[in-house]
Amino acid sequence: MFSPEIVTAAVLNGLLTGAVYALVSVALTLVYGVLHIINFAHGATLTAAMFAAYVAWQAGIDPLVAVIGLAPLFFVLGYAVQRWIIGPASHGEDRNILLVTLGLSIVIENVLLATFRSDTRSIDVPYGFSSVDLGFVFLPMPRVIAFGITCVVALLLWILLARTDAGKAIRAVAKDKLGAALVGIDVPHVYAVTFGLGAACLAVAACVLLPSYFVNPRVGNAYVLVAFTVVVLGGMGSVPGAVIGGLFIGIVESLSGLYFGESLGQLGIFLIFILVLLVRPTGLFGARA
Amino acid sequence: MTTHRFGTTRRQVLLAGAGLAGTLGMPGLVRAQAAAVKVGVLQPLTGALAQDGQAGQLGAELAIKAINAAGGIKSLGGAKIEAVMGDARSTPEGGTAEVERLAAENVSAIVGGFASPICLAATQAASRYDLPYIVDVGVNDQIVSRGLKNTFRFAPGSSMVSGQALDNLVKLNDAAGKPMKTVVLVHEDGLFGSGLAKLLQAELPKRGFEVIDTIAHPTPARDMSNVALQIKAKNPDLVIPSSYYGEFVLLARTMQQQRVKPKGIYAVLNGAASNYRFVKEFPEAAQFVIDTNHWYDPRNATAIALKKEVEAQGKFFLYNVALNYSAMLLLADAIERAGSADRAKIIAALETSTFGGHIMPYGPTKFVNGQNTGAAAVNTQVQNGDIKVIFPEAFSDAKAVFPVPA
């Protein structure tokens, strides 16, 4: 039906798209794993980060350079939002957190709409149209870079969680909030740090996404639905699960787009979503809850 | 002495203040000679379509400014036109709700709507109040085929545009020595793209083109690599895309990345190919893309002056600006001839309109069943960072580059 070159190219392209899914999903799964909340403001945060990168670019800073400043900035913002808005507003009830994050997403999207209006904007970076020539396929340079950065971020995150005290505290809180508090871990602080890490991941995703995609005040939502699927596939709260799940979903989407038509490209994703829920509700790397 | 003088002054100040307050409080008294005619301007100002809606609103506002500056409606004693803004929030429900509000605020007519679904719903809601409604853009053929007496469309509908697109394509191809034989259609999978693709699939073979593939994609799409790869594999002479702005930009960029270079990209009613933002942000990917779309008359002096004014505000002169500007002038002309702000009289005046003072590449206005039969789309082409009209020759300001040099 399709020549092997096209199929291989589609797999590689899917892998590159999947890298961005992985990054967005890691942020979502991290917050879920520790705070046990679904962050409905996830898409809006991604959009906000993309606009931040866009503003930086307008000021003459390449997104790949801007990421150095934006990731810490979004960490601080995420920390502050969890510590002083979501935390206090939730009064310890998970339901409240859902509503607060939903409300936040509405506020963020509309502030962006009021500030930037709803124009769809893109940027033209010098490397935007260069590509890596593999002989049978051209891999667009911005997405190859995105793939590389995703791998680095995933590795850093893994080191942080597995090898540092902060990581240990995060894992402890994720396992047992009360127990962690009893041994002296500042639980609200850990919550906020985790939320900040999630926001920082989104900032990185935004910076690698912008050179090859476009931004408008609703753009983040296109990625969030996929991210939910990836998180369920990889196992709620599992960082390696989100990375592998993201890459896998990218390939599935690309191939099903090729074979069933682009309109039904999403079909593959949601078939997998349903299958996972039926056969292995904990996901590939899910905790044996 | 001093006290006396002070008292007088205070009284004077108070009197002057009271007089000023009276003037501010009752502005109606000052310009009582002619009551303003209220006109609804309905656009999707927020939501997914806000970019287009805000451009449309700008066009209507500029027209009202021009009409009022030129002395308002003379047959009504120089009555000014007063805009009542409505935000359709990019949904048909939003449009309907705003029509109800505008009708309650006693507007004499409504101009705008932009998207077909909004126009379909809003015109129907307005028809319940026999409220004249001039559709600015909405191309769906159903808008004027439901027998609504209040509905007038100034711009061409989709069957008119696609018919012209096909005719013009044949003419362009013949003039170039028929370099184009094979075509790949790329379309978004909603009402707009699918309908157009179906029509093109049926009509292109009759005109000597071979459609070798039809690729649908969703809106929003995150990735166009597969589409570009498939185009590359099929290697057509011509690509005809029908997508919204974001997706077409993504496709054009991906095609450039993947070194897919057909002899031409010929779009029909495309969101991007006649949008200055795309041309400005990606001059290389946009170069030589042809579109069949609404466009202002580039030889019209008013249009040229208006374009300068809009660009001086730091905004793009999108076709929405020109269309709403013209539609508002058309309405003012109808009110002028009706000599009344009465809705039924304005409808009667629109029905017999022969208005020619617009800035579009159209002939005189003539409504048949609500559709302006004098309307026409043109072919534009992106050339060296600008959008030029290349066809028909009567309105063109540049020669077509067709096929695209390798």
B229 touches chain A (CB under 8 A): yes
pLDDT at residue B18 in the model? 53
A113 touches chain B (CB under 8 A): yes
Cβ separation A218–B48 shorter than 8 A: yes
pLDDT at residue B28 in the model? 45
Please list every residue in chain B whose beta carbon sits closer than 8 Å to the beta carbon of residue A129.
253, 256-257, 284-285
Please list every residue in chain A whose beta carbon sits closer than 8 Å to the beta carbon of residue B246.
120, 214, 216
Are the folds of B37-156+298-375 and B159-293+379-395 the same?
yes
Q: CA-to-CA distance for B253 and B241, rounded, in angstroms?
A: 13
User: Residue B404 carries which side chain, given as an amino acid letter?
Assistant: V
By the 10 Å C-beta count (0-12 exposed, 13-18 middle, 19+ buried), B234 is classed as middle
Q: Is the ipTM of this complex over 0.90?
A: no
Cβ separation B217–A263 shorter than 8 A: yes
- Inter-chain contacts counted by CB atoms under 8 A, chains A and B: 100
Backbone phi, then psi, for B100, in 5-degree steps?
-60, -45
Q: How far is A235 from chain B (nearest CA, A)?
A: 24
The residue that leads in pLDDT, B172 or B195, is B172
- The closest alpha carbon to B243, from B232, B235, B233, B251, belongs to B251
pLDDT at residue B2 in the model? 41
Q: How far is A89 from chain B (nearest CA, A)?
A: 28
Percent of chain A with pLDDT over 90: 49
pLDDT at residue B9 in the model? 55
Take residue B23 and report the two structure tokens written for it.
Answer: 């003037």
Buried b / exposed e along B310-327 (16+ C-beta atoms within 10 A): beeeeebbbbbbbbbbbb
By the 10 Å C-beta count (0-12 exposed, 13-18 middle, 19+ buried), B130 is classed as middle
Take residue A167 and report the two structure tokens written for it.
Answer: 């990581």
In the predicted model, is pLDDT for residue A45 greater than 50? Answer: yes
- When scoring A25, A118, A119, A134 by the number of chain B Cβ atoms within 10 A, the one with the most, hence best to mutate, is A118
pLDDT at residue A138 in the model? 83
In the predicted model, is pLDDT for residue B353 greater than 70? Answer: yes
Least confident of B114-118, B188-192, B323-327: B188-192
pLDDT at residue A81 in the model? 94
In the predicted model, is pLDDT for residue B1 greater than 50? Answer: no
A63 cis-preceded (ω within 30 degrees of 0): no
Measure CB to CB from residue A214 to each of B48, B249, B256 and give the nearest one. B249
Q: CA-to-CA distance for B19 and B2, rounded, in angstroms?
A: 26
What stretches of chain A show up as alpha helix (H) in DSSP? 4-35, 42-58, 63-81, 87-90, 94-116, 141-163, 165-175, 177-182, 187-209, 221-234, 239-260, 265-279
Q: How far is A98 from chain B (nearest CA, A)?
A: 23
Kindly report the CA angle at A140 between A70 and B257, in degrees rounded to 5? Answer: 120
pLDDT at residue B380 in the model? 94
Q: Please report, to the nearest 10 degrees, the dihedral formed by the alpha carbons of residues A179, A185, A189, A192 taken in order.
A: -50
**Domain boundaries in chain B?**
37-156+298-375, 159-293+379-395
Measure CB to CB from residue B257 to each of A122, A140, A265 and give the nearest one. A140
A168 touches chain B (CB under 8 A): no
Q: How far is B218 from chain A (nearest CA, A)?
A: 5
Please list every residue in chain A whose beta carbon sits closer than 8 Å to the beta carbon of residue B50.
113, 117-118
Cβ separation A261–B215 shorter than 8 A: yes
In the predicted model, is pLDDT for residue A110 greater than 70? Answer: yes
For residue range A134-189, list pLDDT tens digits in order. Answer: 877 788 888 899 999 999 999 999 899 989 999 999 999 988 889 999 999 999 99
pLDDT at residue B190 in the model? 78
For residue range B9-56, list pLDDT tens digits in order. Answer: 555 555 555 544 444 444 444 445 578 999 999 999 987 788 889 999
pLDDT at residue B33 in the model? 59
Identify whether the C-beta of residue A157 lies closer than 8 Å to the C-beta of residue A130.
no
| Helix B343-351 with B319-338: angle, nearest 10 deg | 110
Write the DSSP assignment of B65-109 as a string of letters: HHHHHTTSBGGGTSBPEEEEEEE-TTSHHHHHHHHHHHHHTT-SE
Please list every residue in chain A whose beta carbon sits closer than 8 Å to the beta carbon of residue B47.
118
B119 touches chain A (CB under 8 A): no
Measure CB to CB from residue A120 to each of B217, B233, B246 and give the nearest one. B246
DSSP state of B47: S
Take residue B139 and report the two structure tokens written for it.
Answer: 């191309």
Q: How far is A270 from chain B (nearest CA, A)?
A: 15
* Other residues' Cβ atoms within 10 Å of the Cβ of residue A256: 22
> In Å, what is the CA distance from B195 to each residue of B43, B114, B189, B198, B243?
24, 18, 9, 5, 12
Tell me the average pLDDT across B287-315: 94
Q: What is the CATH number of domain B159-293+379-395?
A: 3.40.50.2300
For residue range B69-113, list pLDDT tens digits in order. Answer: 999 999 999 999 999 999 998 899 999 999 999 999 999 999 999
pLDDT at residue B5 in the model? 46
Q: CA-to-CA distance for B358 and B378, rounded, in angstroms?
A: 16
Tell me the average pLDDT across A212-237: 87
Q: How far is B241 from chain A (nearest CA, A)?
A: 14
Q: How far is B88 from chain A (nearest CA, A)?
A: 14
Fold of B37-156+298-375: Rossmann fold (3.40.50)
B235 touches chain A (CB under 8 A): no
Q: CA-to-CA distance for B9 and A65, rounded, in angstroms?
A: 67
In the predicted model, is pLDDT for residue A289 greater than 50? Answer: no
* Other residues' Cβ atoms within 10 Å of the Cβ of residue B363: 14
Cβ separation B216–A128 shorter than 8 A: no
B213 touches chain A (CB under 8 A): no
Identify whether the C-beta of residue A210 lies closer than 8 Å to the C-beta of residue A54.
yes
- Give bridge partners of residue A33 from the DSSP assignment: none
Position of tokens 């002395």? B71
**What residue of A is the nearest CA neighbor of B250?**
A213
